[in-house]
Structure 1
Amino acid sequence: MAATTGTILETIVLVIVFIAALCANLSLFYIVGTTRNLQTKANVFILNLALADLLVAVINLPVTIITVIAQDWVLGKTLCQISGFLTLLTFVASCMALSMISINRYHAIVNWTSYESKYTRRKCAFYVCITWFITIVLSIPPFFGWAKFDYDPGQSYCFAEWTASKSYTIFMIAACLCGPLSIMTYCYVRILRYHEDSGRDVRQISLRSNSLSVQSFAMVNQTQGSRKNRLTRTVIVLIVVFGICWSPFAIIMLIQVFSNAHVPRAVDFGSLVLGYLNSFFNVVVYNATNRKLRRQFLKFFTAVNLEKTFD
């Protein structure tokens, strides 16, 4: 079948997203791995989210590109099952990773006195493993007859066929959208309340005493609070960007499951591309909100460009 203009445009867009997401997330892993002051406990959970983004770039995007070019699923039924599972896995992994990041921020700020004991390096690795275990458990039911993985021509990929089981659809909405959203909301409401209470306490102490030690304590507390606030803002922006990128996909999924309304190919496919773009936008957010990371990215890409120039 001859390629149409639409097919060519879709392929070009997907290839651009693939290159951007792959290069951005590989660079993030390299930079954090080679920069000691970025190897923090909080960044363990950021890299966990980046791992899900990297899997989207390495696994999901190439398969979708092949399918768009062929204008049909040509990789066989078994690969459709595997691809559908991996696509669902990476989506759920992103939701779980954002929840884990939110919980980490909650403990770092609200329960800071016990943070060091709760978040040792070994425990951080254990928490990451737990999130992936939950992700696998949530993604595997279609293999056992609760819904199924099948080819979706509207989005040119294999995924969970939500219409095959409305009960699984409702379960996944509750477990992967409502659940994580509730966790994130709870964590950040508590964080905001804590900031208000601690800021009020520090101001009262400063007003009651003019001693140098109290003023120094207030300044140190303000500096530490400012650093934690920046990281908290980073996570909030990540959640907002995730919501913007994946909301159209989720809305279209609900429309297809609970009504007979026709969704145009451009809208259907566009919602998937926007979701894929989230894997690139996350790295943009890291750079926009983290001065240290941004500085290392600039150094990295400047060094790469200089090396190319001298070669």
Structure 2
Amino acid sequence: MGNLFVVSLAVADLVVAVYPYPLVLISIFNNGWNLGHLHCQISGFLMGLSVIGSIFNITGIAINRYCYICHSLKYDKLYSNRNSLCCVFLIWMLTLVAIVPNLHTGTLQYDPRIYSCTFTQSVSSAYTIAVVVFHFLVPMTVVIFCYLRIWILVLRVRRRVKPDSKPKMKPQDFRNFVTMFVVFVLFAICWAPLNLIGLAVASDPASMVPRIPEWLFVASYYMAYFNSCLNAIIYGLLNQNFRKEYRRIIVSLCTARMFSVCRSHDAADRVKCKPSPLVTNKNLVKVDCV
């Protein structure tokens, strides 16, 4: 049931592509936000939902991989179908609980520097610190602990230390672990600058906001949200099953396009070569195409 967490993470990444990102593009083309307050709040809310959902899903994946690799004998009992569904449901409930305060604190505002409605770090110092600590630092600490324990076990298995005490890791399990580990590393790299800026701003908003260069904030913001596009690339590069599915989808699309073009050409040829009757001396004469 580990794939269920991957699907949940993919949904979190997809949320921003469905609604907020198109509105950001409209805002860029119009050089400002003219879509109204409601769309601004919905866009900012869904962006936050995607971010916090991604963090919590990555944490859930790390715990799942830790249990699967380091406590394999208990894994089937811990992650039964019902328990896995409950875990995913809990992840999204915690995500909603984490995002709802934005609607009451007024932190979802339009930022002209990034042409989008998003979490404004300078509105509430206490809430910004809580977001960074409980929605980034604590989950990342849990993920680091899980992956460190997994890497220790991997190194022991590779070096055949105590071979009788630990089961050997299957190559497929190792590849899946590496894939999710890369997902976590890139997530941490992409989101760390924005969260560090948030801590700096929350410490003293009045003095720190003017001191942070605009280019640094914009670069950290877009680097953070670009992370949602990276996961699909990572899956395709590091996971054989994903590569096969990508190849199958691309081949299917190309085949369907070629079939559609061939059918349109055939239809045009049939119309061009269709016999047309001419009336000559009250007799019908068929004229074929040349």
Shared fold per TM-score greater than 0.5: yes
Alignment of structure 1 residues 260-279 onto 2, 5 Å:
260-264=210-214, 266-279=215-228
Identical counterparts, % of pairs: 28
Who is 1:136 aligned against? 96
Structure 1 residue ranges, 4+ long, deviating more than 6 angstroms after superposition: none
What's the C-alpha RMSD, in Å, of the aligned pairs?
Answer: 2.1
1:295 to 2:244 alignment: yes
How far did residue 149 of structure 1 move?
1.5
Matches of 1:131 and 1:193 in 2, distance apart? Answer: 27
Please identify which structure carries the higher helix content: 1
How far did residue 144 of structure 1 move?
2.2
1:243 to 2:188 alignment: yes
Deviations 1:209-265 (CA, angstroms, capped at 9, x unpaired): xxxxxxxxx9xx54x43222111111110011112322333344445444131423x
Deviations 1:113-140 (CA, angstroms, capped at 9, x unpaired): 1111211222211111100111111111
Look at both structures and tell me which one has the larger radius of gyration over its CA atoms: 2
Who is 1:7 aligned against? none
For 1:182, which of 135, 141, 155 is the aligned residue? 141
Q: Counterpart amino acid of 2:175?
A: R
Aligned length: 253
SS of equivalent residue, structure 2 residue 110: strand
Is the CA contact (8 Å cut-off) linking 1:246 and 1:274 kept in structure 2? Answer: yes
1:105 to 2:92 alignment: no
Q: Which moved more, 1:79-88 or 1:281-290?
A: 79-88
How far did residue 42 of structure 1 move?
1.5
1:82 to 2:42 alignment: yes
Deviations 1:273-294 (CA, angstroms, capped at 9, x unpaired): 3223222210111111111221
Deviations 1:142-178 (CA, angstroms, capped at 9, x unpaired): 2223x52211111111122221111111111111111
Deviations 1:11-68 (CA, angstroms, capped at 9, x unpaired): xxxxxxxxxxxxxxxxxxxxxxxxxxxxxx1111111111011101112201111111
Is the CA contact (8 Å cut-off) linking 1:255 and 1:261 kept in structure 2? Answer: no
For 1:283, which of 232, 235, 253 is the aligned residue? 232
SS of equivalent residue, structure 1 residue 126: helix
Matches of 2:102 and 2:149 in 1, distance apart? Answer: 37
**What TM-score comes out, normalization by structure 1 length?**
0.75
Who is 1:213 aligned against? none
Is the CA contact (8 Å cut-off) linking 2:129 and 2:198 kept in structure 1? Answer: no
For 1:149, which of 85, 99, 108 is the aligned residue? 108
Matches of 2:51 and 2:88 in 1, distance apart? Answer: 16
For 1:231, which of 173, 176, 192 is the aligned residue? 176
Is the CA contact (8 Å cut-off) linking 1:60 and 1:83 kept in structure 2? Answer: yes
**What TM-score comes out, normalization by structure 2 length?**
0.80
